[in-house]
Amino acid sequence: MRTPKPGPGYNGPTRGAEDAALERIGVSLAAQFGPAPPGELWFGDDAAVIRIADPRLVVATDIAVAGVHADLALLTEEDLGWRAVAATVSDIAAMGARPTHLLSSLCVAPDTDLDGLCAGVAAAAGVWGCIVVGGDLSRSAVAMASITVLGTLEDNPAEALTRSGSRAGERIFVTGPLGSSAAGLRYLRAGELAEGPSAAAIEAHRRPRARVEEGLAARRAGASALMDISDGLLLDLDRMGRSSGVGIVIESVPVDPEATVEEALSGGEDFELLIVTAHPEALLTAFKSAGLRPPVPLGLCTNDPLERLLDGARFEGRGYQHEIG
């Protein structure tokens, strides 16, 4: 972590390109997040020091690579930064935790808009209440944002919600319609402008939203399992089924009006949450009292761990997988 803030001795002529960039970033972060409280130390030294209220710390990390996670012919560096943060915050939300602090390691190629990348990271961090406390910066052949988010289980004594807590007979819900992000990518590839009916889908692709309040509400309501849909509904449901040792029967899938059924089933990156619960009424009540859109029934968990049914036919866990040997 090397984000020097301007010290009292800053004056000399020896600033390199990296230190100058880091200083510019540090000034911008200080303007957004303000000074650290006494006893804490944010960006500006070898490491950050923060104070944690609950000893149960939730941590997640995610990478977004240009050309893999975001096509910079269609999206901006600001989008890339935002998307990296959204994906990582979503991992925290998927435990029923609240994100609190963020570290951001950025790689920039010669033609990368570093300020845009930083702006996207900082804007998304702000939306979900994360303080950016540190980071690193490197050149590279491709632009990349590696994000780490810390979160808290707050004062709720319940444990974090895993993907392995589902039990046979429990109901599966999803926090909203699926396929928006994939539809947005299709519109962008077709050269659609961000206006008219495609605008919401394009926005969903460029600036996805993590469902933090929904995850907290699910945990408050005594849900059994929680997972975010990052790589595609069928793939992530299959992962949850494997992890919990349960079968999955899908009864209905809420599809975004702009999306195809296939986009809803395997598109991924909507970051809606899958919630499994033995207490559907409590879940609906908790969402209502939190002012959240009601979760949508999706299906149920069954006894046979190999069962994977959609419209009465077996489904495979298709979705996005990196080609890694």
Q: How far is the CB of 1 from a second copy (least distance, A)?
A: 4
**Which residues in 57-76 contact a second copy (CB under 8 A)?**
57-63, 65, 67-69
Q: Write the CA distances from 122 to 100, 305, 320, integer angstroms.
A: 13, 42, 27
Contacts of 153 (CB under 8 A, 6+ apart): 54, 56, 58, 95, 96, 97, 98, 159, 160, 219
- Site for a second copy contains 277 (CB under 8 A): no
Nearest-approach distance from CB 317 to a second copy, in angstroms? 4
What is the C-alpha separation between 146 and 148, in angstroms, rounded?
7
- Give the pair of three-digit tokens for residue 34: 């303000």
What's the closest the beta carbon of residue 32 comes to a second copy, in angstroms? 19
The answer to whether the beta carbons of residues 163 and 68 sit under 8 Å apart is no
Closer residue to a second copy (CB): 58 or 202: 58
Phi, psi of 247 (to 5 degrees): -85, 165
Q: Please tell me whether residue 108 binds a second copy under the rule CB under 8 A.
A: yes
**Is the CB of 221 or the CB of 225 nearer to a second copy?**
225
Residue 185 Cβ vs a second copy, minimum distance, rounded to whole Å: 18
Residue closer to a second copy by CB (options 118, 221) is: 118
| Closest separation in Å from C-beta 314 to a second copy | 10
Instruction: Choose between 50 and 292: whose C-beta lies nearer to a second copy.
Output: 50
d(CA 259, CA 177): 9
Segment 166 to 225, residues that bind a second copy, using CB under 8 A: none
Contact pattern from residue 86 through residue 105 relative to a second copy, giving x for each residue in contact according to CB under 8 A and a dash for the rest: ----xxx-xx-x---x-xxx
Q: Taking contact as CB under 8 A, which single stretch among the options 29-37, 156-164, 205-213, 285-293 is the one that binds a second copy?
A: 156-164
Cα–Cα distance, 94 to 225 (Å, whole number): 9
Q: Report the distance separating Cα 27 and Cα 21, nearest Å.
A: 10
How far, in Å, CA of 257 to CA of 261, rounded?
10
